[in-house]
Amino acid sequence: MFNYSDAFASNILALKKENRYRHFAEIQRDTTTFPIAQIFKRYELEDVTIWCSNDYLGQGCNPVVLDAVCDAVRTYGAGAGGTRNISGNSPLHRKLECELADWHNKEAALLFTSGYVANDAALSTIARLLPNCIIFSDQKNHASMIEGIRHSGVDKHIFEHNNVEQLETLLKRVPVDQPKIIAFESVYSMDGDFGPIDKIVALAKKYGALTYLDEVHAVGMYGPSGSGVADKLGLAGEIDIIQATLGKAIGCIGGYIAGNRTLIDVVRSHAAGFIFTTSLPPAVVTGALVSVRYLRGPEGQELRKRHQHNAKILKESLLSKRLPIVDSPSHIIPLIVGDAGKCMQVTESLLENHKIYIQPINYPTVAKGSERLRITATPFHNEEKIHQLTEALDTIWNDLHLQRRRER
Ligand code: PLP
């Protein structure tokens, strides 16, 4: 049995070892194919097409980002050398925080070592410090938000996914002047649906709640400058805390929150997940800074356009074969298999017979019986690759006698 996670993790390492990295960057940043890792001898040096990367826009291989990172490594070294408070701070960290705050049109931003840490540290700290705070959390919130809420130790209400009527019923039970936080996401990563930002903002106003929005799967991807779904809807100004990652569309690693200066200072001063850990290396910070600036500009707009186009034609192509995708409104395309063993068989066959890599998503990431492939296009997949993927899935669906959609 193959370990697909290892394959994914090591493919870039293999690429670097083989000194094909630069070559790779030169061939128009085609992030959809990687030489397969050496652990799979029989595939050595053959190309495998990846259809499940969260490097949605290929920024992890953008030569502009790579050059900046390489220069920064040579200038500043490999690591940060300490925590933000003890020797691990730099003007670059501050610069990136200013850039992120400006991108989201907020007063301030704060970096963390990952999006996970950002959620855990920020939610736990804000909720713990607000006297008598209560949190309202969407049932499908990411594990990092759930951990943050748990670590805060405050009371919580979980509302059914995107059920604003139920959220309102729960909010009504709490005095208006009691501090509250509504925590939710703009793009839910396993189903590809959007959170009802406008409705939640309206409820937050009515019942005096702070809004905490995870835009991890949306930054770089939506809105005129790519800062997320809230901005696309003209609602970013209504959100109190925006949280996101530098590890997906931005192509690096790290996480952050953006919000008003006081809130950010509170988290900076009290969050263990910010204070007691080595800060992001300057080279990563530089890469993220260059990547965000790129995504804010016309090239970023072009990438978003091509990305949305590819996601759309991929959905149409899969629907044309009645493959059981969730016809999601976002760029994420869940293809439901509904059985863990079969899901694994599909991904094995994709890799062995079609040189296509898609990780199976099983319990506990999704509910039992809803096992799936989570397919993501990038701007660098083309019509030929979309056709190949569709044909491969169509064949496998026949071979394994899997269920199809009733209609297109
Ligand atoms: N929030 C959501 C919705 C996520 O899907 C993820 C990661 O997959 C995170 C937060 C954590 O972000 P990171 O990968 O930067 O730790």
Residue 81's contacts (CB-CB under 8 Å, 6 or more residues apart) are 87, 88, 278
For residues 114 and 126, give the distance between their C-alpha atoms in angstroms, rounded to a whole number. Answer: 18
What pLDDT digit, counting tens, does each position of 317-357 carry? 999 999 999 999 999 999 999 999 999 999 999 998 998 99
Average pLDDT over residues 263-285: 98
pLDDT value at residue 406:
85
For residues 322 and 140, give the distance between their C-alpha atoms in angstroms, rounded to a whole number. Answer: 27
How much of the chain, in percent, has pLDDT values that exceed 70? 88
Among 123, 245, 330, 365, which residue has the most ligand 1 atoms within 8 Å of its CB, making it the best to mutate? 245
Closest by Cα among 163, 199, 154 to 181: 154
End-to-end CA distance of the chain: 34
Query: Is 41 considered catalytic here?
Result: no
- C-alpha count within 13 angstroms, C-beta hemisphere, residue 19: 0
For residues 239 and 198, give the distance between their C-alpha atoms in angstroms, rounded to a whole number. Answer: 10
What pLDDT digit, counting tens, does each position of 61-84 carry? 899 999 999 999 999 999 999 999
How much of the chain, in percent, has pLDDT values that exceed 90? 85
- Closest ligand 1 atom, residue 189 Cα: 5
Smallest CA separation from ligand 1 atom 14, residue: 115
Name the pLDDT band for 97 (thresholds 50, 70, 90). very high
Is the pLDDT at 30 greater than 50, yes or no? no
Is the pLDDT at 313 greater than 90, yes or no? yes
For residues 80 and 284, give the distance between their C-alpha atoms in angstroms, rounded to a whole number. Answer: 10
pLDDT value at residue 289:
98
**How many whole angstroms from 229 Cα to the centroid of ligand 1?**
16
pLDDT value at residue 47:
77
What pLDDT digit, counting tens, does each position of 161-175 carry? 999 999 999 999 999
Poorest-confidence range of 11-25, 162-176, 296-310, 364-378?
11-25
Quote the mean pLDDT of the chain.
90
Closest by Cα among 11, 232, 266, 27 to 123: 266
- Closest ligand 1 atom, residue 255 Cα: 15
What pLDDT digit, counting tens, does each position of 208-250 carry? 999 999 999 999 999 999 999 999 999 999 999 999 999 999 9
Closest by Cα among 248, 243, 237 to 213: 243
Structure tokens at 382: 């083309």
Is the pLDDT at 12 greater than 80, yes or no? no
Domain with CATH 3.40.640.10 in the chain: 80-296
Is the pLDDT at 46 greater than 70, yes or no? no
**How many whole angstroms from 406 Cα to the centroid of ligand 1?**
34
Average pLDDT over residues 114-124: 98
pLDDT value at residue 32:
52
pLDDT value at residue 15:
42
Is the pLDDT at 45 greater than 80, yes or no? no
* Cis previous bond, 281, omega within 30: no
Is the pLDDT at 27 greater than 80, yes or no? no
pLDDT value at residue 325:
97
For residues 382 and 73, give the distance between their C-alpha atoms in angstroms, rounded to a whole number. Answer: 33
Class of domain 80-296: alpha beta
pLDDT value at residue 22:
36
**How many whole angstroms from 176 Cα to the centroid of ligand 1?**
31
Kindly list the protein residues whose Cβ atom lies closer than 6 A to any atom of ligand 1.
Answer: 114-116, 119, 142, 144, 185, 189, 214, 216-217, 245, 247, 255
Poorest-confidence range of 17-26, 162-171, 384-393?
17-26
Smallest CA separation from ligand 1 atom 12, residue: 115
Name the pLDDT band for 156 (thresholds 50, 70, 90). very high
**How many whole angstroms from 245 Cα to the centroid of ligand 1?**
7
Name the pLDDT band for 193 (thresholds 50, 70, 90). very high
Q: Which of 106, 248, 315, 385 is catalytic?
A: 248
Question: Helices 282-296 and 298-320, interaxial angle, to 10°?
Answer: 80
Name the pLDDT band for 103 (thresholds 50, 70, 90). very high
